[in-house]
Every structure is written in C-alpha cells, then in structure tokens.
Structure 1
C-alpha cells in the first residue's frame, strides 16, 4: 500500500462521485453521515456534495492507494456547529470508503495527516463527532488521544430510535 492524501479541486465532479458512492454505501452510511429525520437516510448525489463543498474554510482530501481513491477526509475551520466555541478549532471527518482498506492502519495514517494539516492551518484544537453506536470509531479516537467532552442528545436517527452524538476533542 502506498497511501497518499490529495486535496480535491472543488470545481471537479469526479472526486464527489467517489464521495457519494461511499456516503451511500449501506454498510457505512449511518456511521459517516447524520440521519437527521426518522426513517431511511436519503442517498447523496455528487452534484449536491459539490455544491456544499464550502469555500476556503473547508478542505477536502481524497485518500489514495497509488492512484486509487479509497476514502476521504475533511477539515472545517471554526465551523458554527462545533460544541465548544474556541477560536482556531478544526472540525474533522474521515471515511475509509473501500471496505478492503478498513482495519489496515489507513485511518491512523489519515488522522496523523489531518492533525498535521490542522497545525499548518493554525488550528490549536480539533473537535469531532462520533455517533454513540459507532463503538469502533470511538475506541480508535480514544486510543489516539481524543477525549469526550460533551454529548448531543437525540441527534441522529438509527435503527428505529434517536441516538446521541459524542463530541470529542484534542488539543494540538
């Protein structure tokens, strides 16, 4: 495996086609996206993702093995939805979209990359949200130094009931 990270061109649709494919994968969609209404979570369209890609305060990267896209990452700078309003906070997300790459150390490399990019962008703190039922991700974040500091009750709908979003943070 030759894992690299490439910031996407937000004017090109192709990266968003991969991101939409992963966002709609029934095996992981409820772990990487928030279902904010009761019932099934609607599929995401590449054009919608491109439209919502944000300006200079959002950085989106593809994770690649050689030339093959296998996942995506993002950093938002001081977004309004952070729970703890501290200046220079990066909100991060990670998705290992291709099943055969999960559990192979890619997420650890991705988090190292994200933390370094946050430092380069002047971030002093990282905040993320992990759904209460995503125990594997939560254990991973704890292992690499993230600490729970808050919970948002009734945030996401999953398997017939409303669940909490656990907010975690790490100071850089």
Structure 2
C-alpha cells in the first residue's frame, strides 16, 4: 500500500471538486465538522478555490494519496487560539479520510505519522487534536499512535439528536521521534 502526503500550495479546480464532495458527504459531516444543532448538521457548504486559499493562510494543508488517488487531507495550524492547552510550539491537527475505500486500511495512521515527522522537522514539540466522543474508531487510532486525553469540551457538537463532547488529546514529540 503506497501512501504519500503532499503539501497543498496552490488549489486547483479538480482538488477543490474532491474537497467539495467530502465537505458535503452526509456520512462525513458529523465526523469532521462541528455542528451546533440539527440545522448546521444538515447544512451544505460550497468549497471554492478562494476559500481553500484562505485556509492556506492559517493552516498547513497536505493531500493524502493512496496509490496515486486523492483520498483525504491532513492539516495543522501552529499555536492557534482554539487549543485546549495553550503551550508555545503546539499544533492543532485535523484529518479527513474522504474516500470510503481508504478508511480502515491504515491510511490515517500512516498520514498522521508522516505529518508528525513534518511537525518535528519544523521544531514544534506538541500535537493536539480533538475527536468527538462518539467517534470510537478515531479515538482508538489516536491512542494507538500515542495520543493521551487531556480534557474535553462539553456540548460541542450535535449528532443523532444530542450534543456530544469534543475530547482533546495530545502527544509530545522530541527531536529523535520518540514520545516525550
């Protein structure tokens, strides 16, 4: 299985078309986007080249390829205000495996490992991420990768008629790649 990540520098119409499909996939929306109520959960967003360019001003975005097919994206922001634990040199990580045939095959695991190496190369020391409490598969993956729960935000996202927590997890990374 050949997995690679490539930094997104300049969005193209074909990339934006794929991102648009993921952003509006009813199965993905509850997993990757905060929804404050049922109306937001059912809302569809139009991804445009301009919107992706605006994201690139705040985030490092990488495209995930499996056997040369675009199957997801992984991104991080350096020291954003929305970190649970404000510690200089931290990144907030986000990942979407948009294509169903790429899920459950280790693509997310390998992509996160690759992005951790990228973060390390830039001299950053800590990765934080949020995962919705109902997303047991993602929580299991993050624990397997060495992430530990550090807290939560109650009533964060709406799904299946109720509000769910956002569980925050972290991992410290040192220069040689081991967990601190």
TM-score with structure 1 setting the length: 0.91
Name the SS for the 1:151 alignment partner. strand
Structure 2 unaligned segments of length 5 or more: list them.
174-180
Question: Does residue 1:125 correspond to 2:147, yes or no?
Answer: no
**Which 4+ residue blocks in structure 1 deviate beyond 4 angstroms?**
none
After superposition, the CA RMSD in angstroms is 1.6
CA 1:160–1:45: 2 relative to 1, 3 Å: same
Other structure's SS at 1:31 match: helix
Flag the structure with higher helix content: 2
Between stretches 45-54 and 134-143, larger displacement belongs to 45-54
Residues 36, 156 of structure 1: 8 Å contact kept: yes
Aligned to 1:50: 52
Count of aligned pairs: 171
Looking at structure 1, the residues matched to 110 and 44 of structure 2 have their Cα atoms a distance apart, in angstroms, of: 28
Pairing 1:4-83 to 2, within 5 Å after superposition: 4-39=4-39, 40-47=41-48, 49-50=51-52, 52-55=54-57, 57-83=58-84
Distance 1:147 1:87, change over 3 A: same
Aligned to 1:166: 167
Q: Spell out the pairing of 1:146-157 with structure 2 (5 A cutoff).
A: 146-157=147-158
Deviation at 1:11, TM superposition (A): 4.8
Q: Report if the CA contact (8 A) 1:92-1:114 is conserved.
A: no
| CA apart distance, 1:30 | 0.6
Q: Which runs of 5+ in 1 are unaligned?
A: none
